[in-house]
Amino acid sequence: MAFCLPMHAEGGGCESNAKLNVSCSRASAFVQVQVANCKKLGKLVLEVRDQQGRVLYREEGKAFTGDLVRRLDKGQLPRGTHVLSIVAKEVSLSQPFTIE
């Protein structure tokens, strides 16, 4: 069974209100990604990288609000520790997570 261990990350300034939460459970086939910010995010890039820095997943898009929710398929990611990062105009957040 694969599951990940969640950790929490925050940015600074108004971005100090920006929060990234990456979580999943053994019962779920998904990695849940939630971003909450006090301002709209605008254009953003979401990436998952492995420990060697290789990009395992990349998504570019726009968020017209300060909230973003994504579900990533755990079956597409190998076991191990990865880093999920979100980069937008005024927000840069990253959080490590582990799929076991």
Q: Which residues, in sequence order, are CB contacts of 22 under 8 Å at separation 6+?
A: 4, 6, 7, 31, 32, 33, 34, 84, 95, 97
Other CB atoms within a 10 A radius of the CB of residue 67 amount to 12
Q: Over the chain, what is the mean pLDDT?
A: 84
pLDDT-derived band at 3, boundaries 50, 70, 90: very low
The domain locations on the chain are 4-99
pLDDT at 4 over 60: no
CATH class given for the domain over 4-99: mainly beta
Q: 17-52 pLDDT, tens per residue? A: 889 999 977 778 999 999 999 889 999 999 999 999
pLDDT digits (tens, 9 = 90+) for 59-78: 999 999 889 999 999 999 99
How far, in Å, CA of 14 to CA of 38, rounded?
A: 7
Residue 24 CB neighbours (<10 A): 22
